[in-house]
Amino acid sequence: MKSIEVVSAVRRLSLLAMVLVVSSAARGQATPPPDPDQTVPHGKVLFNRDQDSPVVEKTVKVPAKQSVVAITDAERASLIFTAYDLDVHLAPAQSHLAVHAGFTVKNSGKEPLTRLIVQISSSLHWASFALRSSGRVSPLTFAEQIIDTDADHTGKAAGAVVSLPQPLEPGASVELTSFYSGEVAQSAERLERIGAPLDQASRADWDRISPEWTGLRGFGSVLWYPTAAAPVFLGDGAKLFESIGQTKLQQAAATVHLRLAVEYVGDAPDAAFFCGRREQLKAVSENQSLPVAESPGVATAEFSGRPLGFRTPSLFVTDKAGTVTNDSLISAVTDHYDAAPDYGAAADKVRPLLAEWLGPGPLSVLTILDHDGQPFEDDALLVAPMRASAPDALAPALAHSLSHAWFRSSHVWLDEGVAQFMALQWMEQSLGREVAVVHLQEEAKALALVEPPPAQSAAAAEEGQSLIRARDEVYYRTKAAAVLEMLRSIVGDDALRRALQLYREDKMDNDPKEFQRVLERTSRRELGWFFDDWVYRDRGLPDLSIASVTPRAIDQIGNKGSGWLVAVEVRNDGGAVAEVPVTVRSGTLTATQRLRIPGRSSASTRIVFEGTPSEVLVNDGTVPEVGASMHTKQIVAH
């Protein structure tokens, strides 16, 4: 048995060497001979922990020349990755991953760094580090330690303390290469240690490399590529999710390039998905004289360098081609072939709404990978369970997912916000306006909990998250959808539809103010007052109240006889401007005007009403507020 394992390991290394040679040749570079100092790991285990040990890290004996020193969170958090160049080799039969990683890191801190602190999953092991500078590659010494962190599904990470030949100054960058390898099996250790039931933990942490399923979601799930972050834990409030969002935001501009090789025996895998992008795998059989079922081979794919965007690098490998629904909107990789017609019928239901709002046709198909774990989404890639179901039941979720196939933006508040907004439009179309508004109000309750409280002055306002720098879902999904709904009320359906369609065709998507300019052209309105408070800054939420209502009888309304003139003053104690409908009504008779109330101020309007007014209503539930988003006051008309 031992000999089989050794042969398998040697075979993996030889295949990886072949792939690296081919990759280097493709880049027009010669592969340098291995440095003698890099043939053995430089790492030493400085800390370890088992299930019964206390949380405090414990040291083990190390050579005297290596000092054990404390590592600060500031050191870990100072590194921002600005480029990845990854050669990845997968052996699904052994759940094995081997990576030759090139990466560029920047010191975003205020102090020089004499060492770099980088991490991978605790199931992987660092082998070497080298510095690339002026065309030269210089080996670096490093020490390895195991740290507790729930950024990885094992609940731990293999940290490397890499010594630099000279300090990395604030704002400066350095290019490194490293080699690491190991097994990536499914693990729910981090969830089990906080008491999660095993079945629920397995549904949440499904990342693994195996013959049946290969799926790696990245930071926050499994650290299959080098990262740097302070330890975070599921039991410590929302710090893990805040760290995930912050990492996505910091590394959105990083370029990522991947060369992938996948070992197989028998039928070759079909395709790979990296950061939501699909590439067909090209298979090369090692021994064509063997029967297909026994023939080993390597399948390869390359993903050209692109900006990472607001995501964590994810990698999936599928063993079969997708089944395309008859509407050509969905490609499903599934064994539940009976579900495909239902998904196709649901997509047909949603298509007219998306075409009306976002354009006549999608930019790509929506790919669904059928998997029983908790769903995962990356643009037009959806990993989720697929089962036969009524099209009406599938349509609401597909309204969101198919929006990613129709519309894309490098700004997450638009990329995710438009998808949420379209799901809201589907709800309004299928269930009615009142149901959609109630849903919007329920969603706004979560937003009110995280937004900064009203302050006495603009200077004293606590800063939250502007939409253009949003990192939490409640902002870039919930608040973004509310912002689009408010813009719909301000400029009208036609202007917003036209703006969304023009924007997706625009070439200035990197400019955070481009959507405002497009919407101003289609609506012929100046909207800086709104975008300043709701998109470019976070002024919190409005806090409206009806300050006064003054009715006055009038003898003549044009040629329609007598009526009432109702003056309504509205106070806004919140920080963000609000433009809301103010409605005077009596029974079924209503008269409405829109009123803009800046933050921490009052505004008033006068409404001519033909009947005898009985009530005034401010806000219709579409503008989120600190508290209730509908205000009424009875009118006593004498």
In a domain, residue 577? The reply is: yes
In sequence order, the β-bridge partners of residue 570 are 546, 603
CATH of the domain at 368: 3.30.2010.30
- Cα atoms in the Cβ-side hemisphere of radius 13 Å centred on 538: 21
pLDDT digits (tens, 9 = 90+) for 261-307: 999 998 999 999 999 999 999 998 777 666 666 789 999 999 999 99
Is the same domain home to 622 and 595?
yes
Asked if the structure places residue 38 within a domain, the reply is yes
Same domain, 312 and 340: no
Domain final residue, candidates 406, 438, 462: 406
Can you give the pLDDT at residue 19? 37
Judgement on whether residues 360 and 394 belong to the same structural domain of the protein: yes
pLDDT at 454: 66
Domain co-membership, 314 together with 328: no
Q: Are residues 367 and 218 in the same domain?
A: no
Within-domain flag for 556: yes
Task: Say how many CA atoms lie within 13 Å of 156 toward its Cβ.
Answer: 20
- Give the pLDDT score at 72: 87
Query: Quick one: tokens of 265?
Result: 């025996």
Residues 110 and 15 in one domain: yes
For residue 312, the enclosing domain spans: 2-318
Element (H, E) at 481: helix 480-491
Q: For residue 411, is it within any domain? A: no
pLDDT of residue 295: 83
Kindly state whether residue 568 falls inside one of the protein's structural domains: yes
Tens digits of per-residue pLDDT, 82-118? Answer: 999 999 999 999 999 999 999 999 999 999 999 999 9
The encoded tokens of residue 153 equal: 């599904």
Cβ atoms 402, 387 nearer than 8 A:
no
Distance of alpha carbon 502 from its chain centroid, rounded? 24
Residue 612 inside a domain? The answer is yes
Considering the domain architecture, whether residues 122 and 162 belong to the same structural domain is answered as yes
Domain-ending residue, one of 536, 554, 581 = 536
Residue 412 in domain? no
Asked whether residue 350 falls in the same domain as residue 468, the answer is no
Dihedral angle computed from the Cα positions of residues 569, 570, 576 and 581, in that order, rounded to the nearest 10 degrees: -100
CB-facing half-sphere around the CA of 544: CA atoms within 13 A: 32
- The number of folded domains in the chain is 4
Residue 129: how many CB atoms within 10 A of its CB? 25
Of 508, 536, 564, which residue constitutes the final position of a domain? 536
pLDDT value for 83: 98
40, 156: one domain: yes
Answer for the pair 419, 500: CB distance below 8 angstroms, yes or no.
no
Regions of the chain with pLDDT less than 70: 1-69, 288-293, 454-463, 507
Angle, CA 9 vertex, CA 5 and CA 12 arms, to 5°: 140
Looking at the structure, do residues 128 and 166 belong to the same domain, yes or no? yes
pTM: 0.85
**CATH number for the domain that contains residue 630:** 2.60.40.10
User: Do 226 and 150 fall within a single domain?
Assistant: yes
Rounded CA-CA distance 579/532 in Å is: 14
Same domain, 174 and 53: yes
Residue 414 in any domain: the answer is: no
